[in-house]
Amino acid sequence: MPLGWRVLKKIENIIREEMDKAGGQELMLPVLQPFELWQQSGRYVSFGKSLFTLTDRKEYTLALGPTHEEVITDLVHRYVQSYRELPLLLYQIQTKLRDEPRPRGGLLRVREFIMKDLYSFDADETGLDKSYQSMCQAYSNIYARLGLPTMIVEADSGAIGGKDSHEFMVITETGEDEVIYCSNCGYAANAEKAQSAKTRGDAETPLPLEEIATPEAKTIQEVADFIGVPTKQTLKAVFYFADGEFVFVIIRGDLEVNETKLRNALKCSELRLATEGEVNEAGLVAGFASPIGVKGVKVVADDSITSGFNFIVGANKPGYHLKNANYPRDFQVDLIADIALAQSGDSCPKCRGKLSLARGIEVGHVFKLGTFISERFGASFLDNDGTSRPIVMGCYGIGLGRLLAAIVERSHDDKGIIWSLSVAPYQVYLCPLHLDKPAVLPTAEKIYQELQKEGIDVLFDDRDDSPGVKFNDADLLGIPLRLTLSPRTLQSQSVEAKWRTEKEAQLLPLENLAAGINRLLGGKLAQ
RNA sequence: CGGGGCGUAGCGCAGUGGGUAGCGCGCAGCGUUCGGGACGCUGAGGUCGGAGGUUCAAAUCCUCUCGCCCCGACCA
């Protein structure tokens, strides 16, 4: 734990340096926040149960900050009055609390985590674009300094709200997010946001509806096989409950529903699949349902229903389907939107290339908030023409613990972690062998003193253990540079230096050792 | 909240046709070893998650309960 904390502090400092360089000013906001602020923004609804709340002795309700748009906007609205005070970039590095439905993955997803959150305040969209750009650049710098390759992807803005949003993803098998990307044109998006080009069928003459018996064929695959058509020639029905309302969703048979897109289209916060019992209660037949002739139920369609003609749909009675269903000739819908899940192998919406899928860890997320929150808090300023305008906001977050977990995930081997010099808990591992032999321990102690005096970040392994044990621990901890001192190296008045990443070692003279090591470290950093 | 799994020594696990609880690692002592996780001997350590029940007898069978992990809806 102490070692992990050292790493976290180093990560924190790198982030702080880059934020400062980008013009950010650090401050510290309260964790304990009046619940009214969340009512004022309306976001206590979208955050739902994730927002921790508590009551104080006066029965006053407080929230534990899951993020700080409310608090900081409230603050800024009290102090900023003129366009001359903009742009303003404020940030903090602080513990966030969220009552996550399911914490997991060690540090990847926890209810209490340290986050750097920066908020930008600009006079207009152009200013926001500039702040957004400079934050993206700062984030790229941070990941580069951490030695962590990331991919920028388009993202859904979720509970935070707002318009444009991008995530920084570390691609790894163990990631909990899915990224859809096109290696042809560079399009990349979180799977919950990703679009795909829905290929259009050739124009066909709409044929009259025709009922056909399809006994035992309930799933789309079974129906398509039974009739002998591809699944994209069918429409499938899926049923949800959105904030307690039953919703009939219709989508082309070869596509899947993207629940995030559906939630956004419906503007609802709770969304779940309906049970078979609830489907029956709504007067529908699971497996043989279609919107044709259905009344009194909200129908939402994916825009793929306009991409073809003469679809196969359910007949709303067991054992039968209908051929040649056409929208809008045969049925109407309440809402039509893109609610389809983009999948690996689909066509890229930009260039029609093939889309691929990868898993990733989200290590940073930036949003263009716009004026949504500032309007609710009356955070406005007087422009140079004398009119009052709402401040245009952006927010930018990086989870530190998750970043640490992502680094370890990306940089380890069968022996343990491999830290880069920039974040390693210590840069040098001082490892004397045969402590009982003359001169070894005293020399090691002298070296330790000397290196510390020179400001070298060194960990001293003074345990009386066998070489194997000590070497393996050094590898496990992943300290970049290992110094071995033993009777053997003492014979030539030297120590052995070995990089964690390399197989071969080199000898360094004891004379001016600190200088020699600084040279080695400097050379490595320059790489 | 829905689905699956697990609770036995510090850690990882075995042990169910009921019969007084075992292995590996780790830990303590002594000795030999020691430039890639050495070995021998000795030793410490367990209310078998909890409560109730069946039985002469329960880690094992029955009922209830608590906790943890994994997979889904959430996100830095």
Cα distances (angstroms) measured from residue A353 to each of A154, A184, A344: 18, 6, 11
**In contact, A308 and A252? CB cutoff 8 Å:** yes
- At residue A227, the pLDDT reads 85
Contact A135, A22 (CB under 8 A): yes
DSSP string, A122-144: ESSHHHHHHHHHHHHHHHHHHHH
Residue A389 backbone dihedrals phi, psi, to 5 degrees: -130, 150
Cross-strand pairs, A424: none
C-alpha to C-alpha distance for A500 and A415, rounded to whole angstroms? 10
**H runs (alpha helix) in A370-438:** 372-376, 400-410
Cis peptide before A230 (omega within 30 of 0): no
For residue A486, how far is the Cα from the chain centroid? Answer: 47
Alpha carbon of A91 to those of A11, A67, A188, A395: distances in Å?
Answer: 16, 12, 28, 9
Question: Is the CB of A394 less than 7 A from some atom of nucleic acid strand B?
Answer: no
Measured between alpha carbons, how far is A500 from A520 in angstroms, rounded to an integer? 13
* Structure-token match 């044929």, residue found: A207
CA–CA gap between residue A236 and residue A239 (Å, rounded): 10
Strand pairing report for A481-485 and A428-432: parallel
Q: Is the CB of A104 under 7 A from strand B?
A: yes
Q: What is the pLDDT of residue A162?
A: 63
Strand B proximal to A177 Cβ, under 7 A: yes
Q: Are A161 and A43 in contact (CB under 8 A)?
A: yes
∠ Cα A259 A264 A268 (to 5°)? 90
Report CA(A476)–C1'(B14) in Å, whole number.
29
pLDDT in tens, chain A (527 residues): 789 999 999 999 999 999 999 999 999 999 999 999 999 998 887 787 788 888 888 999 999 999 999 999 999 999 999 999 999 999 999 999 988 877 776 777 888 899 999 999 999 999 999 999 999 999 999 999 999 999 999 988 765 556 789 999 999 887 888 899 998 898 999 988 888 887 777 778 888 988 888 877 777 888 888 888 888 888 888 888 887 788 888 888 888 888 888 888 877 777 777 777 777 777 787 778 888 887 778 888 888 888 888 888 888 888 888 888 888 888 888 888 888 888 888 888 888 889 988 889 999 999 999 998 999 999 999 999 999 999 999 999 999 999 999 999 889 888 889 999 999 999 999 999 998 888 899 999 999 999 999 999 999 999 989 999 999 999 999 999 999 999 999 999 999 999 999 999 999 999 999 999 999 999 988 87
* CB proximity A476–strand B (7 Å threshold): yes
Q: Is the CB of A496 under 7 A from strand B?
A: yes
Please check whether strand B approaches the CB of A398 to within 7 Å: yes
Note the Cα A465 to chain centre separation in Å: 43
Phi first, then psi: give them for residue A102, nearest 5 degrees: -150, 95
Q: Which nt has its C1' nearest the CA of A109?
A: B75
d(CA A217, CA A2): 61
What is the spatial distance, in angstroms and rounded to an integer, between the CA atom of A57 and the C1' atom of B36?
A: 61
- Asked if residue A392 lies in contact with residue A381, where contact means CB atoms within 8 angstroms, the answer is no
Instruction: With beta carbons less than 8 A apart as the criterion, state whether A119 and A393 touch.
Output: yes
- Residues 41-80/A with CB within 7 Å of nucleic chain B are 50, 67
Go through A328-346 and write b for each residue having 16 or more CB atoms within 10 A of its CB, e for each that does not.
Answer: eebbebeebebbbbbbeeb
| Cis peptide preceding A87, ω within 30 of 0 | yes
Nucleotides of B under 7 A from a protein CB: 1, 33-38, 69-76
Give the pLDDT confidence score for residue A229 in this predicted structure.
86
- pLDDT tens figures, A177-221: 889 999 889 899 998 888 888 777 777 888 898 888 887 777 788
**A472 CB and strand B closer than 7 A:** yes
Q: What is the spatial distance between Cα A210 and Cα A197, in angstroms, rounded to a whole number?
A: 30
* Residue with tokens 């959105």, as numbered in its chain: A242
Dist. CA A60–CA A34, nearest whole Å: 8
- CA dihedral A477→A5→A367→A180, nearest 10 degrees, is 20
DSSP A239-293: EEEETTEEEEEEEETT--B-HHHHHHHHT-S-EEEPPHHHHHHTT--TTS--STT
Nearest-angstrom CA–CA distance, A50 and A44:
9
- The angle formed by the CA atoms of residues A328, A333 and A337, to the nearest 5 degrees, is 100
